[in-house]
Structure 1
Amino acid sequence: MHSNTLEDLYKKAIKEKYEEAKNGDDFFFLNAPTRGKLNKLCWEKFTNNDMPSSDLNVFNSLLGLSFDISSKNKFKQETDLFRPVEKFFKGETDPDKIDVVDMAAILVDFQPRPFNKFRKEIDPENLKLIEELRDTNHDKNGFFSDILPDKVETEKFPELKNDEVEKDKNEEIKQDEAEEVEQDENQDLEKIPTGIFTPIKKVGEGGTNSGLKRSLIIAAFLLGLILIVYLNMSQKDCMQWMGDHYEKIERSDDGYCDTYYDARYFDLKKIEVCDTTEFFDDSGRAKVWYIKIGNSVECYNQHAPYPENRQRFLKPITQHIINKYLSNRPKCN
């Protein structure tokens, strides 16, 4: 597989994220982007968030200076450096410099980023299967080329884990979605990577047509993926944040839904911590999740996207955050 395949996929996924983000909280900066607006948005992103080292590296590499909150005036003079990002968002150029694309990913909060992380997160087996199908007569109209970026957008990569889980990330075993096909004369079913079963007819008594069988397996895999996306997008119910919890509501008559109902996050609640709040369980894992707003933090009962801005995610509480922001907790009633 050529690297430009992944780069093109990365760029297309970011552009799709941009189309979503430009109508969100950063509408002013992204709906009609200019280099000046993108410069301001970049400064806000890096000032108001604890940016990972990879984002800081992109900042340094693209702009030629390290992020320093005291150098705002100097940074404001670097608007021309955002011209390639502006042209990328507008579809006027296809940047060769990956730092430009990585900066675009930061501005729309696309995950996983940067590109080096993106290419490691994408399962090479799935891409290989789809690339093979693209080269066959089964994709005369580019059908699967259009589906592939949707796969990346719908498979939400977890951005948030407990500190211990994050340290053990390299020890996780990747699931092999391309399971070995059973070749048994008495079986008429083939198991495909996602657990979907499809009947495969024998081609004569002498054996099977392996090329046809493989194409059918790939097609069934992609059709299963389409079904998952369709069911996810065709949900009837929405949920609305009521200040400290979600409530389920009906979708509006025009079909618009600000937040689709998601059972994983529906029980999210904003909590007021006090002197007897238990922040960790017996194993040391966080029981409280937080987000930093200005010079204070808000606390919640579980991990989830931040309900006031779903492009940000709640983080597991740490002793450092408790000591810095929650040391003067009120007494519980």
Structure 2
Amino acid sequence: MKKITFKDYKKAIKKQYEIVKKDDVSGILANPSPAQMRNLSLIILDKGISRKDEELFRLFFGTKENESLKKSIENCNVDKFRPVISFLKDETDSENSIRIEMSALLIDFKPRPYSVFSIMEDLELVATSSGNQLMSNVVTELDVSESSSDLTKSDVIKSNNSIPKKKIAIGLFSLVGAFSIAYTSKDMIFPNKECMEWKEDHYEMVDCISDKIELVKIQEPKPYDEIEFGRKKIEVCDTTTFFIGDKPIVWYSKKNNMVEFFNMDGFNPENDDELKQITQYMIDRYVMACD
């Protein structure tokens, strides 16, 4: 008898992470740090979570009986996210069910938890349970057997015919077609490129030494840095979330009365000015209403 295993569940979560990190406008999932994952947890909490997700949060953060969940997250030791990040990046494996379920929650993987995932038998059940409007016609089928549980193929669903039992259809967040899911390894995504260069509002991988002759070279490439590579210049307006609790999650640089906003602290890649934490004064003075 064929059975959907916990190993299949973990593989599906990692596959979904490869998709959602490309569409994450905050930049957190592309190159997550423990502190950023803590901030993401607070954002998820502020948006509202189910009772089961709240129970998982309380278990993961070790929230005491009479303690505020939000306060528990704010005061947590961010190092507890390091194994979660390593798992999502496929750097390490884990059999810790709380850690795996937390990984699924942070990327909004559905169906979850594993007890629900393990009984899904067709696309209609998956789509119904997910409630995700971005789920499109493209699915990845997880072919499950007792001896092998590799993700094997991506198909475009052309009809509402049922999928054979014991195959799990995992909805993708954007149209992928027949293209393969990208590898997590930087070396596989950017072969022979070990440096990065700032391009308008984000970093891109480049060769450290280029044969191209450029008349004007504003910035030299920098050695690849995993955390810095996640930096992005962001557009903000009056509905942007600038704080989680009393902690700012947006930084800014101001020069010649021009203000630019970034998703993490550090330095402005364009002029090396140190970034400052956003303040209510700066929001009131420089942030415009959304269109």
> Into which bin does the TM-score normalised by the smaller protein fall?
0.3 to 0.5
Q: What TM-score do you get using the length of structure 1 for normalisation?
A: 0.38
More helix by share: 1
More strand by share: 2
Q: What TM-score do you get using the length of structure 2 for normalisation?
A: 0.42
- Higher RCO by CA contacts (8 Å cutoff, separation 6 or greater): 2
